[in-house]
């Protein structure tokens, strides 16, 4: 059985005919060809597939595409505006908040959601806020610095 | 990973969801946040033919103050519970525990009713809601009934909810004056599930004597249980650290078989139960003002 779904992704309306079992992560990557959203563990643990659904960070591997019918979705491709990085992306660049980069799209999306909730997070709040996002390279130090820098930039902008 | 094929249904009301459940008896599963069920479906440990999504049913989510307590819709997310002013005012225990569930992304989707109905032995809310003495309301296409949380947790991943019933509301009675609460857990560092978690509710009188105590343990055994022996030792005393320690030593008495897995042996879980109980009770007492 096929389901017709419509959703807005990074400001663009998309309509697709999907099987009920198609995961949102697969819709984003394989149907919409937005491969910035990564699938790491595929078991709801690593957070690499995090996207914003109606402004809330969710793991797109743990949601069916049909459940996002009518939703407004933002992936990492939707953050930069007019060729300029989003402040969180810029902060990850400036602070070198990555090594291999695989976890970075999820880290950035979760950080965007985290800073919306708590604009002045303490280091402990940053680490707690990012605990659903695993990084196997950095040991998290520069990621935490990047979030702090992004929070600072957000306040001064 | 790809789940087995299923048909997706998104009813707009509880009555419609209940009708669908009875029509597809035994072949349908309710999904709300999906944070436990979808991973199981991806591993093909669950293969429902019909998935009934209740996450958009308005009457199922939200927090209402009623006479005698709060009514929390079963599809209310952890995030909404943790952020609710009325929850923070009357039940800081719920907000404290909600903030410790999994991670930010899972809390945006996962629901109180999903946690209770799934009955994961390492879930946080089964113990918290048990300690709070909630009453649950469930509806089938024929009737609505109330179920005491005391009779809800049956066994590993098993509750007394019938296959035809939709869990609707979690009603939590207000706490007495001079009651303190706390949830203390030793969490698995990767999944953030409770290796052992203890929820404690302690009420004292004007002279500081403990007049009531409810202590519930999760993660230790197949289901969340009350530590009734510990509770009995606590009541009637102006509690000292050594009396709390003595009471906490009995916190595993009702567990039966302790879980053993790659994360912790049964012996270690038995030890953690005592330590978590002592810390939760101590904190709860400190907050009982």
Cβ-based neighbour number of residue A79 at 10 Å = 19
**Contact between B35 and A64 using a beta-carbon 8 Å cutoff:** no
Q: What is the pLDDT of residue A16?
A: 98
B8 touches chain A (CB under 8 A): yes
Do residue A114 and residue B191 have CB atoms under 8 angstroms apart?
Answer: no
- Partner residue facing B2 (CB), from A1, A21, A133: A21
Using a CB–CB cutoff of 8 Å, tell me whether B45 touches chain A.
Answer: no
* Angle, vertex CA B21, rays to CA A5 and CA B105, nearest 5: 50
Interface membership of A125 toward B (CB under 8 Å): no
Please answer yes or no on whether B8 and A59 come within 8 Å at the CB atom. no
What angle (nearest 5°) sits at the alpha carbon of residue B20, between those of residues B19 and B25? 100
pLDDT of the residue at A156: 85
Residue B282 contacts by C-beta under 8 Å, 6 or more apart in sequence? B241, B244
Is pLDDT above 80 for B18?
A: yes
Question: Do A44 and B39 count as a contact with CB atoms less than 8 A apart?
Answer: yes
Instruction: Identify the pLDDT of residue A76.
Output: 98
The conformation of residue A30, written as its DSSP 8-state character, comes to I
The helix-helix angle for A141-156 and A104-117 (nearest 10°) equals 50
Whether the CB-CB separation of B217 and B227 falls below 8 Å is answered with yes
Q: What is the pLDDT of residue A41?
A: 96
* Predicted pLDDT at B208: 95
Grade residue B128 by pLDDT with cuts at 50, 70 and 90.
very high
B147 DSSP β-pair partners: B136
pLDDT tens readout for residues B23-40: 998 999 999 999 999 999
Q: Report the mean per-residue pLDDT for chain B.
A: 97
Q: What is the pLDDT of residues B215-247, one digit of tens each?
A: 999 999 999 999 999 999 999 999 999 999 999
Give residue B266's pLDDT: 98
Element containing residue A24 per DSSP (H, E): helix A24-26
State which residues of chain A have pLDDT below 70. Answer: none
The beta-carbon neighbor of B104 closest among A19, A23, A57 is: A57
Q: Where are the alpha helices (DSSP H) in chain B?
A: 14-23, 37-42, 78-83, 85-90, 92-98, 104-109, 112-118, 125-131, 228-234, 241-248, 266-287
Burial (CB < 10 A; 0-12, 13-18, 19+), residue A119, is exposed
> What is the per-residue pLDDT across B165-193, written as a single tens digit (0 to 9) for each?
999 999 999 999 999 999 999 999 889 99
User: B159, B176 in Cβ contact below 8 A?
Assistant: no
Domains of chain A: 2-78 (3.10.20.30), 87-156 (1.10.150.120)
Please identify among residues 61-100 of chain A the ones whose CB lies closer than 8 Å to any CB of chain B: 62-64, 66-67
CB contact under 8 A, A132 and B35: no
pLDDT reported for residue A157? 75
B191:A21 CB<8 A = no
Q: In chain A, what residues touch B34 (CB-CB under 8 Å)?
A: 62-64, 67
Q: If pLDDT is split at 50, 70 and 90, which confidence band does B88 have?
A: very high
Torsion sign over Cα A130, A133, A138, A142: negative
Which of B104, B106, B188 should be substituted to probe chain A, the one whose Cβ sees the most A Cβ atoms within 10 Å?
B104
Q: Does residue B79 sit at the A interface (CB-CB below 8 Å)?
A: yes
Q: Report the residue from A1, A50, A67 with minimal CB separation from B7.
A: A1
Which pairing describes strands B179-187 and B166-173: parallel, antiparallel, or unpaired? unpaired
The average pLDDT across B60-64 equals 98
Of the candidates A62, A66, A131, which has its C-beta nearest B35's C-beta? A62
- Going from the C-alpha of B124 to that of each of B169, B185, B201, the distances in angstroms are 18, 9, 15
Say yes or no: A21 contacts chain B, CB-CB below 8 A.
yes
Burial B9-37 (b: 16+ CB within 10 A, else e): bbbeebebbbbbbeebeeebbbbbbbbbb
Q: Scanning every residue of chain B, which has its alpha carbon at the shortest distance from the alpha carbon of A50?
A: B105
Q: Do A131 and B4 touch (CB under 8 A)?
A: no
What pTM was computed for the model? 0.97
Over residues B118-131, the mean pLDDT reads: 98
The pLDDT assigned to A150 comes to 98
Q: Which residues pair with B184 in a beta bridge?
A: B198
Q: Is the model's pLDDT at B151 over the cut of 90?
A: yes
Which pLDDT score, from 0 to 100, does residue B101 have?
98
pLDDT attached to residue A1: 87
pLDDT reported for residue A122: 98
Cβ separation B5–A20 shorter than 8 A? yes
């Amino acid at each position: 059985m096929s389901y017709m779904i419509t959703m807005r992704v990074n400001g663009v309306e998309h309509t697709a005919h999907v099987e009920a079992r198609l995961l949102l992560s697969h819709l984003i990557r394989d149907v919409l060809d937005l491969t910035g959203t990564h699938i790491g563990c595929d078991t709801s643990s690593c957070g690499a597939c995090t996207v914003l659904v109606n402004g809330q960070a969710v793991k797109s591997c743990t949601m069916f595409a049909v459940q996002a019918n009518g939703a407004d979705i933002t992936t990492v491709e939707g953050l930069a505006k007019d060729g300029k990085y989003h402040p969180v992306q810029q902060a990850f660049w400036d602070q070198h908040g990555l090594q291999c980069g695989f976890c970075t799209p999820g880290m950035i999306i979760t950080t965007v959601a985290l800073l919306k909730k708590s604009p002045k997070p303490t280091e402990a709040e940053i680490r707690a806020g990012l605990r659903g996002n695993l990084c196997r390279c950095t040991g998290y130090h520069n990621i935490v610095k990047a979030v702090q820098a992004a929070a600072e930039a957000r306040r001064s902008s | 990973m790809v789940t087995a094929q299923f048909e997706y249904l998104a009813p707009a009301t509880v009555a419609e969801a209940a009708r669908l459940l009875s029509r597809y008896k035994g072949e349908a599963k309710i999904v709300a946040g999906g944070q436990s069920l979808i991973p199981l479906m991806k591993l093909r440990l669950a293969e429902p033919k019909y998935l009934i999504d209740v996450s958009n049913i308005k009457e199922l989510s939200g927090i209402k103050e009623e006479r005698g307590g709060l009514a929390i819709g079963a599809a209310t997310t952890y995030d909404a519970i943790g952020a609710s002013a009325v929850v923070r005012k009357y039940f800081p225990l719920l907000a404290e525990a909600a903030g410790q569930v999994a991670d930010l992304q899972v809390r945006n989707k996962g629901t109180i009713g999903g946690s209770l109905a799934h009955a994961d032995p390492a879930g946080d809310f089964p113990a918290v809601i048990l300690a709070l003495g909630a009453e649950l309301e469930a509806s089938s296409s024929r009737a609505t009934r109330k179920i005491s949380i005391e009779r809800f947790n049956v066994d590993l991943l098993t509750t007394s909810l019938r296959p035809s019933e939709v869990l609707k509301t979690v009603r939590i009675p207000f706490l007495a004056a001079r009651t303190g609460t706390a949830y203390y857990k030793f969490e698995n560092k990767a999944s953030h599930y409770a290796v052992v978690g203890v929820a404690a509710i302690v009420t004292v009188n004007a002279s500081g004597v403990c007049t009531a105590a409810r202590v519930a343990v999760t993660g230790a055994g197949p289901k969340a249980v009350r530590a009734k022996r510990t509770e009995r030792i606590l009541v009637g005393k102006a509690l000292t650290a050594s009396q709390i320690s003595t009471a906490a030593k009995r916190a595993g008495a009702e567990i039966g078989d302790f879980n053993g897995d790659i994360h912790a042996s049964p012996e270690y879980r038995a030890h953690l139960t005592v330590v978590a109980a002592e810390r939760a009770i101590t904190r709860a007492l400190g907050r009982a003002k």
